[in-house]
Structure 1
Amino acid sequence: MRGLLILTVFLGSLAVGCQDSDLPQSSPISEASSPSTTTPVQTPQASSTSEAKPSTQPNTQLAESLNSERTCEISAYVIDTDPKGLNVRSGAGSNYKIIGNLPTTTAGVVVDLTASQGNWVQLTRAESPQEVEFQGTGWIYSQLLGTSTRGYGSRGVSVYKNANTQSATIGRIPEQTAVKLLSCDRTWALVEYKGLKGWIAPDAQCPSPLTTCS
């Protein structure tokens, strides 16, 4: 009887062992093996096509020339129509302090320019037919000033590519015509007229809206 009991227990243990061996074995879960909830960062790849570069090359020589400060010896007149007046600032930029204001409702306000930098010109004096409007050193946005062409009785004045008579002529502006001032270099004025941008010589300028300078 005792032998039969031992045999029964042995056969039962063997059956349990066989059942355990059929179960799938799962690996222990750790922080390293757990699924990550962080989305991997994708490193952007630089494009090798032309879209990654500017399609056109700027005229760096002209840009550098205009951005550098240059000496001027010309006059111009106010063409700003803002009734609040034309601001005079302490430096060549709209972020500089306002140190003066020129009238825009008074005709014939003429300014004397002594330097240019970018889109700004330096003045030392502004005068209307009635009085001196500004005396000192300040800066004005150049495109709020203008000048006129002389050339009375001619086919107009020549417009040059650069500020000298040896450079190419790129067009003409009719006589006694008001033009917008863009910049200046010595006694030359960089102006714009109906999309034409170029330099006009000192003897072609008339910095007064009230006379023809003839």
Structure 2
Amino acid sequence: MKISLSVAFLMFGTATACFAQSATKQTCNVEVDITDTDPNGTNVRATPGGDVITALKNSSSDGWILVHLTAQAGDWYEIDRAKLIDSNLPSGEKIIFQGAGYLHKSVVGVSGMQNGGVVYRNHDIRTEPIDAHAAGDQPVELLGCWGTFLKVHVRKGIGWTEHACTNMNTTCV
């Protein structure tokens, strides 16, 4: 009996530890904007709160910086690349960072919603929408990421979307 309880406890303890690890770093695959207005650029760090490895600077008056999020760990987003978006560039964009780095949640966001986009209750298109036809010009607060979904706060509440606007020069209507 003692052995069975010990094994059950160890099995439960292992499952709890695995769940805790997955909750601390959530993988995602989305792009968002740098919203930081610091003229010295936005610091990319080696680890959450760690040493600065580079600063992302917008060298264009008409462009903006788009970053690819690969994970979220608390208030920090892991990135693997950043690009300057500018119609004056030959291809319309230029990679300005590639590698592993972290950005604080306070320096990234989205410019709005794609007009008519859907915001769901959960990060699954099979869940009930909280907004089935979101207005494109509404304020949107970025709260997190999960897979291809962004967790956002919009007029109708907090939910998950794949239809955020990342065009800093115009609304996605």
Q: TM-score, normalised by structure 2?
A: 0.68
Aligned to 1:127: 83
Instruction: Give the 3-state SS of the residue equivalent to 1:125 in structure 2.
Output: strand
Aligned to 1:42: none
Higher RCO, Cα 8 Å, sep 6+ = 2
Give ranges in structure 2 of 5+ residues lacking alignment. 1-19
CA contact (8 A) 2:136 2:172 kept: no
Give ranges in structure 1 of 5+ residues lacking alignment. 1-63
- Percent identity, aligned pairs only, is 29
**Following superposition of structure 1 onto structure 2, how do residues 1-214 of structure 1 map, counting pairs within 5 Å?**
67-91=23-47, 93-94=48-49, 96-103=50-57, 106=60, 107-128=63-84, 129=86, 131-147=94-110, 148-151=112-115, 156-171=116-131, 173-177=134-138, 179-193=140-154, 196-200=157-161, 202=162, 204-210=163-169
Shift of 1:189: 0.6
Shift of 1:120: 1.4
> CA separation in 2, counterparts of 1:176 and 1:205?
11
> CA separation in 2, counterparts of 1:65 and 1:158?
30
Larger radius of gyration: 1
Count of residues paired in the alignment: 143
Shift of 1:211: 5.1
Letter in 1 for 2:68: D
What is the RMSD of the two structures over their aligned residues, measured on CA atoms? 2.8
CA offsets per residue over residues 94-147 of structure 1, 9 Å max, x none? 2x1111111267431111111111121111111113543211110111242122
CA contact (8 A) 1:89 1:138 kept: yes
Q: TM-score, normalised by structure 1?
A: 0.57
Letter in 1 for 2:54: G
Higher strand share: 2
